[in-house]
C-alpha cells in the first residue's frame, strides 16, 4: 500500500526514523508528513506504535474536481463496496487548498451522495452517516481543480492516546510531547523531571517511551478496523506483541517525576497517569518552582537525567515580571542542582527564554497549535565562552564603571551603558533608576546575512551576564527588539501590564514603562535637547509638536514657560502625558494637551492667530497623517512642516527641530525666510557619543 502519514510541522524527520523501525519502505519525507509503502503489518505498527504521526491516509483515487458535478462523478467511479460494507457507518471530511470549489461542507456532501447512491443502486440499501464515531473515515482534499480521496486508516488523529481526562489551560498534544522528548534525547538519560508538568503529558509520554509501551494501546479503535481489507489475525498478533513488550518494559522504568504550583493541574496529572495505568511509575506533586526548591528524593542521586518542561507563555500569564523570574529559576535549578543533566525548554515566548541564564546548544522551531514555538536544548556548559559571552561581560563591566561615575557626577538617573559596542552583540542596554534599578535591553535586528540561530545564541549569551553585572533579578530586566514600524504600529500596545515606574530627569518626575510599548516613554538620546528646549522657554509661550509623552514640555514648564501647547495624534501617549502632568502638578489651564494631527493643528492655530515664542518639533521618521492623506515622511515633508510652524512664530521666535532619521538632509534652501543652525553635536549626550548620528538637531530662526 502507498500511504501518506501526516505529522506536526518540524517533526517529520522523527516520523521518518520511526517508519524505518516499523519495516516500512520507500520512505520520502516532505514538509507535512511522509510518503511510504507498507504491508498490513507495517500499517498496523504505524497506527499502534507511532508517537509522532497524526493520521495515516491510504489514497484511493485522484480526479478532476473543477465543480461539484465533476466531484460527484469522480467519487462515483470508486468501488465503495470493495472498501466497506453497507452495514458500516462513514463520514467525509474535506480540506481545500486554493480550490475552485469554495465550500468544504458542500463538497463533502457531494462525495457522501455519490457513495450513498452507489450502494443504494447496487443493494437497495444505504450506509449510515456518523460524524462523531464512524467505522470508516473518508478524507477529501481538493487543490485547485484536482481532487483526491483517501481512507483515514488511523480513524482520527493518533495524538489522541486515550489517557487524557482533561488537559491543562494550554495542553500539549501527545505527539508533540513525544517529539520534544525525542529531540531532547530521551530515553537515553536515566531519569526525567518536569518542574512545571501541567496535566502531565510530558511525564506520561516519557514513561511510555522508556517502558516500551505502544502509544495506541489505550485507544478505543482505529479506522482500519472497519475496512474491508482489514486482516484481523495479523492485527491481533501485533497487539499481543505490544502487550508483551509493555510488560517487559515496565520492569526497567527509570524515575519519572513532576511538579507544578497549580493544585488543579496536579490533580489532572494524577488522573491522566491513572488512566494510562502508570500510577506506580510516575509521581507528581504540588510544588512551586524556585531556584532553591527541593528536588524529588528519587532524583537526588541521579547523575545524568533530563530536565524538560513547557513553561507558561506570555499569552497565558500577564504578569511578565513573574514569568521572567520563573525562567530564571528554571535556569538556576539546572545550574545549581542538576549541572550534569540535559535540559529542554519548549516555549512560545522565546524572549522569556533569555532569562534562563544559559545559552542553548540547539534551537528547534516547532508549533504548539497556532503558536510559533522553539525547543531550546541545553547540554554543554562551556557554550558561553564559545559565543563570546565573557567578552561581552567584560565590555559591559567596563562601560558600567565609566558611565555610572559620569551619571552620578551629572545627576543623571537614566542612561545608556552599552550600544552595540561589539558587532557580535548588537544590543543596546539602558539603565533606569527608580525605587530600584531596571535594565532595559533592545536588540537591533540582525541583517539577513547573519544566521538567525547564531544571533539568538549570542543574545542568550549576553543575557546570561546581565543579572551578575548589574546585580539585579530577572524581573528587573526587560527586552525589546527594534525594527522599522509600519503605519500605526508605532502606537501598538505589545503587552498589558500597566506597570509604570517613576524616574527623575532634572526636576521633573516621569513615568516609564518597560513592557507594554515599543519605547519606554523617555527618549534618552534627547536628554540634552529637552534641556535646551527648557532653557529657551523661560517666560515664553511654547508649542511642542509630536509631543509623545510630553517629557520635553515638562522641561519647558519646569524652566518657567508661561503657557504651553503639546500636540500628538496618539491618545495613548497623551494619556501618558496627562499622567506625567499630574505627577508634576502641572496647571492644565495654562499648559494644554491636544490630540490632533500636527499639520492640521498648525492650520487651525494660524486661522486662530496663535503665536508662540519657542516651537519644538521632533517628528517620527514616518507616520500616518490625515492632513496629507498619505504617510508623513520626514525627508519628503519636513519643509512643509517647518514652514507651517514658522508662520506661528512670534518676533525673534525660535524653532528647535530634531529627528532620528539617520540619512536625513535638511532642505534649507526651501525654508521660507528662515535660517538653520545645525547644533546636532551639542545635543548628543556622552552616553550616546559612540553613535553621533543617533539624531539630528537644528536651531531655526527668522532670517
Q: Are 113 and 124 in contact (CB under 8 A)?
A: no
Which domain-ending residue is among 462, 483, 504?
483
| Residues 558, 538 share a domain | yes
- Which of 381, 400, 435 terminates a domain? The answer is 381
**Domain membership flag for residue 247:** no
Residue 292 has a pLDDT of 58
Residue of 151, 194, 183, 239 whose CA lies nearest to 52: 183
Asked if residue 505 is part of any domain, the answer here is: no
Q: Which grid cell is 498?
A: 500597566
In this prediction, residue 502 carries a pLDDT of 97
Query: What per-residue confidence (pLDDT) applies to 55?
Result: 97
d(CA 466, CA 457): 15
Q: Is residue 488 part of a domain?
A: no
Query: How many Å apart are CA 277 and CA 300, to the nearest integer?
Result: 26
Return d(Cα 118, Cα 107) in angstroms, integer.
17
Is residue 307 within a helix (H) or strand (E), and if so which, with residue range?
Answer: strand 306-309
State how many domains the chain has. Answer: 4
Domain with 261 in it: 174-211+253-381
Domain for residue 223, yes or no? no
Q: What is the CATH number of the domain that holds 34?
A: 3.30.2130.30
Lookup: cell for 392: 561581552
- In this predicted model, what pLDDT tens digit does every residue of 505-560 receive, in sequence order? 999 999 999 988 889 999 999 999 999 999 999 999 999 999 999 999 999 999 99
SS3 171: coil
328 and 464 fall within a common domain:
no
CA dihedral 608, 609, 610, 616 (to 10 degrees): 110
Q: Is residue 237 part of a domain?
A: no
- Same domain for 56 and 138: yes
- The pLDDT tens digits for 336-356 are 899 999 999 999 888 888 888
The predicted-structure confidence for 320-341, as pLDDT tens digits, reads as follows: 557 888 888 898 898 889 999 9
Find the CATH number of the domain harbouring 205: 3.40.50.150
pLDDT at 155: 94
Judge if 449 and 344 occupy the same domain.
Answer: no
Handedness of CA 200, 202, 203, 208 (dihedral sign): positive
**DSSP-based three-state secondary structure for 517:** coil
- Is residue 35 in some structural domain? yes
Q: What angle do CA 582, 584, 588 make, to 5 degrees?
A: 55
Q: Is the residue at 389 inside a domain? A: yes
> Band of the pLDDT at 487, cuts 50, 70, 90?
very low
125-163 pLDDT, tens digit each:
999 999 989 999 999 999 999 999 999 999 999 999 999
Where on the phi/psi map is residue 490: left (φ > 0), alpha (ψ -120 to 50), or beta? alpha
Are 389 and 316 in a shared domain?
A: no
Last residue of a domain, one of 333, 358, 381: 381
Out of 346-355, 444-453, 482-491, 590-599, the most confident range is: 590-599
Give the full edge-to-edge strand order of the sheet including 696-702. 591-595, 563-568, 541-545, 612-617, 649-659, 696-702, 674-678
pLDDT digits (tens, 9 = 90+) for 386-401: 567 788 999 999 999 9
Task: Please state, in angstroms and rounded to a whole number, the distance separating the CA atoms of residues 353 and 339.
Answer: 18
CB environment 56-93: b (16+ within 10 A), e (fewer):
bbbbbeebebeebebbbebbbebebeebbebebbbbbb
Q: Is the confidence at residue 448, as pLDDT, over 80?
A: no
> For the CA atoms of the chain, what is the radius of gyration?
33
User: Does residue 264 fall inside a structural domain?
Assistant: yes
Regarding whether 68 and 19 lie in a shared domain, the answer is yes
Q: How high is the pLDDT of residue 629? A: 60
pLDDT tens-digit profile of 63-96?
A: 999 999 999 999 999 999 999 999 999 999 999 9
Q: Could you read off the pLDDT of 93-117 as tens digits, one per residue?
A: 999 999 999 899 999 999 999 999 9
Q: Is 283 left (phi over 0), alpha (psi -120 to 50) or beta?
A: beta
Q: Is residue 33 classed exposed, middle or buried when 0-12, 13-18 and 19+ CB atoms within 10 A define those classes?
A: buried
Round to whole Å and give the CA distance between 542 and 562. Answer: 8
Residues 359 and 413 in one domain: no
- Residues 119 and 193 grouped into a single domain: no
pLDDT at residue 628 is higher than 70: no
- Same domain? 119 vs 204: no
Whether 27 and 62 have beta carbons less than 8 Å apart is answered as no
Confidence class for position 456, pLDDT limits 50, 70, 90: confident
Q: Work out the mean pLDDT of the chain and round it to a whole number.
A: 91
| More confident position, 237 or 454 | 237
Place 314 in a pLDDT band, splitting at 50, 70 and 90.
low
Q: Is the pLDDT of residue 627 over 70?
A: no
How far apart are alpha carbons 195 and 218 in whole angstroms? 26
Same domain, 189 and 329: yes
Cα distances (angstroms) measured from residue 350 to each of 332, 363, 496: 18, 10, 18
The pLDDT of residue 406 is: 97
**Mean pLDDT across the stretch 281-308?**
88
Would you say residue 493 has pLDDT above 70?
Answer: no
* CATH code for the domain in which residue 449 is found: 3.30.750.80
Please check whether residues 408 and 373 belong to one and the same domain. no
State the Cα–Cα distance between residues 523 and 520, nearest whole angstrom: 8
Residues 14 and 116 in one domain: yes
Nearest residue to 142 via CA among 100, 175, 192? 100
Amino acid at each position: 500500500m502507498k500511504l501518506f502519514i501526516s505529522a506536526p510541522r518540524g517533526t517529520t524527520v522523527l516520523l521518518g526514523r520511526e517508519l524505518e523501525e516499523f519495516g516500512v519502505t520507500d520512505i520520502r519525507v516532505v514538509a507535512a508528513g511522509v510518503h511510504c509503502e507498507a504491508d498490513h503489518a507495517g500499517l498496523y505498527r504505524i497506527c499502534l506504535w507511532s508517537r509522532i504521526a497524526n493520521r495515516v491516509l491510504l489514497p484511493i483515487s485522484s480526479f478532476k474536481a473543477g465543480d461539484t458535478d465533476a466531484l460527484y462523478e469522480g467519487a462515483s467511479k470508486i468501488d465503495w463496496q470493495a472498501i466497506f460494507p453497507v452495514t458500516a457507518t462513514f463520514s467525509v471530511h474535506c480540506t481545500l487548498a486554493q480550490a475552485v470549489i469554495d465550500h468544504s461542507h458542500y463538497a463533502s456532501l457531494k462525495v457522501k451522495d455519490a457513495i450513498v447512491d452507489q450502494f443504494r443502486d447496487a443493494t437497495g440499501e444505504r450506509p449510515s452517516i456518523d460524524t462523531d464515531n464512524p467505522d470508516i473515515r473518508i478524507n477529501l482534499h481538493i487543490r485547485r481543480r484536482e481532487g483526491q480521496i483517501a481512507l483515514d486508516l488511523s480513524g482520527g488523529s493518533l495524538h489522541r492516546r486515550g489517557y487524557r481526562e482533561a488537559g491543562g489551560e494550554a495542553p500539549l498534544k501527545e505527539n508533540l510531547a513525544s517529539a520534544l522528548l525525542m529531540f531532547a534525547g530521551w530515553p537515553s538519560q536515566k531519569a526525567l523531571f518536569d518542574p512545571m508538568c501541567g496535566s502531565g503529558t510530558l511525564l506520561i509520554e516519557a514513561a511510555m517511551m522508556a517502558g516500551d509501551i505502544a502509544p495506541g494501546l489505550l485507544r478505543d479503535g482505529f479506522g482500519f478496523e472497519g475496512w474491508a481489507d482489514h486482516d484481523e489475525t495479523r492485527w491481533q498478533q501485533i497487539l499481543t506483541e505490544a502487550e508483551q513488550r509493555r510488560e517487559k518494559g515496565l520492569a526497567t522504568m527509570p524515575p519519572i517525576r513532576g511538579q507544578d504550583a497549580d493544585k488543579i493541574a496536579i490533580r489532572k496529572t494524577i488522573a491522566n497517569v491513572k488512566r494510562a495505568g502508570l500510577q506506580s511509575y510516575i509521581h507528581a506533586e504540588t510544588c512551586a518552582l524556585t531556584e532553591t526548591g527541593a528536588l524529588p528524593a528519587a532524583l537526588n542521586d541521579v547523575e545524568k537525567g533530563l530536565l524538560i518542561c513547557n513553561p507558561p507563555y506570555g499569552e497565558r500569564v500577564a504578569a511578565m515580571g513573574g514569568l521572567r523570574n520563573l525562567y530564571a529559576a528554571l535556569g538556576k535549578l539546572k545550574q545549581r542542582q542538576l549541572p550534569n543533566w540535559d535540559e529542554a525548554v519548549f516555549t512560545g515566548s522565546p524572549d522569556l527564554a533569555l532569562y534562563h541564564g544559559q545559552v542553548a546548544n540547539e534551537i528547534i522551531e516547532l508549533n504548539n497549535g497556532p503558536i510559533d514555538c522553539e525547543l531550546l536544548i541545553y547540554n554543554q556548559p562551556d557554550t558561553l565562552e564559545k559565543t563570546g559571552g565573557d567578552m561581552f561581560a567584560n565590555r559591559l563591566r567596563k562601560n558600567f564603571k565609566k558611565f555610572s561615575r559620569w551619571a552620578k557626577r551629572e545627576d543623571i538617573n537614566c542612561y545608556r551603558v552599552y550600544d552595540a559596542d561589539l558587532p557580535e552583540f548588537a544590543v543596546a542596554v539602558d539603565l533606569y533608576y527608580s525605587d530600584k534599578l531596571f535594565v532595559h535591553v533592545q536588540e537591533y535586528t540582525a541583517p539577513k546575512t547573519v544566521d538567525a540561530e547564531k544571533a539568538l545564541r549570542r543574545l542568550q549569551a549576553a543575557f546570561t551576564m546581565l543579572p551578575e553585572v548589574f546585580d539585579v533579578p530577572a524581573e528587573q530586566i526587560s527586552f525589546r527588539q527594534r525594527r522599522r514600524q509600519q503605519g500605526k504600529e508605532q502606537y501598538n500596545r505589545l503587552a498589558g501590564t500597566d506597570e509604570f515606574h517613576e524616574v527623575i530627569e532634572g526636576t521633573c518626575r516621569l513615568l516609564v514603562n518597560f513592557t507594554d510599548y515599543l519605547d519606554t516613554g523617555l527618549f534618552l538620546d534627547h536628554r540634552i535637547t529637552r534641556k535646551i528646549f527648557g532653557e529657551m522657554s523661560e517666560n515664553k509661550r511654547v508649542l511642542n509638536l509630536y509631543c509623545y509623552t510630553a517629557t520635553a514640555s515638562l522641561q519647558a514648564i519646569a524652566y518657567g514657560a508661561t503657557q504651553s501647547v503639546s500636540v500628538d495624534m496618539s491618545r495613548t501617549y497623551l494619556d501618558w502625558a496627562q499622567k506625567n502632568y499630574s505627577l508634576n502638578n502641572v496647571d492644565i489651564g495654562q499648559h494644554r494637551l491636544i490630540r490632533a494631527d500636527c499639520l492640521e493643528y498648525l492650520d487651525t492655530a494660524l486661522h486662530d492667530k496663535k503665536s508662540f515664542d519657542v516651537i519644538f518639533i521632533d517628528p517620527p521618521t514616518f507616520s500616518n497623517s490625515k492632513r496629507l492623506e498619505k504617510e508623513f515622511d520626514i525627508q519628503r515633508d519636513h519643509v512643509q512642516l517647518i514652514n507651517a510652524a514658522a508662520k506661528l512664530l512670534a518676533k525673534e521666535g525660535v524653532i528647535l527641530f530634531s529627528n532620528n532619521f539617520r540619512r536625513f538632509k535638511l532642505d534649507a534652501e526651501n525654508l521660507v525666510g528662515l535660517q538653520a543652525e545645525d547644533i546636532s553635536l551639542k545635543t548628543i549626550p556622552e552616553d550616546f557619543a559612540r553613535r553621533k548620528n543617533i539624531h539630528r538637531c537644528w536651531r531655526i530662526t527668522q532670517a
